Amino acid sequence: MPLYEIETNAHILITWAEDETQAKVVVNDNYPNDDVIRLTKRPRNSWVISKAALGLTDQRVDPCLVARDCLSKAEGDKVHAIRLYMNETGVDLDKARKAIESNMVLGW
């Protein structure tokens, strides 16, 4: 069963559902006053939140790992991966492009 990330006007839900329709039913059943803003089928069967990315540790995040994760989330779509990388790391467009493209060459 696929894992879905659902953003509403008040919550972010992570849930398994058969399809997008069933994912929306989960939201409507649990949060009937929320409006679905974004619904994304996750490329993996688990949800991971990096403590380092949230700034909760002193560890630095390896840019290659972030770039590879963004490529995976974007299912190989370079432009989408670049946007994700910019969002994850806060770098500018040129640095994000270089990170994503260098990882694509390495065969992420």
Residues 16/4, Cβ–Cβ less than 8 Å: yes
H/E segment holding residue 100: helix 93-105
- Say what the pTM is: 0.48
| Per-residue pLDDT at 108 exceeds 70 | no
pLDDT for 96: 92
pLDDT, residue 94, reads 92
**Strand arrangement of the beta sheet that strand 12-16 belongs to:** 12-16, 3-8, 36-41
pLDDT of the residue at 21: 96
Burial 34-58 (b: 16+ CB within 10 A, else e): bebeebeeeeeeeeeeeeeeeeeee
Average pLDDT over the chain, rounded to whole? Answer: 84
Q: In this predicted structure, what is the pLDDT of residue 54?
A: 63
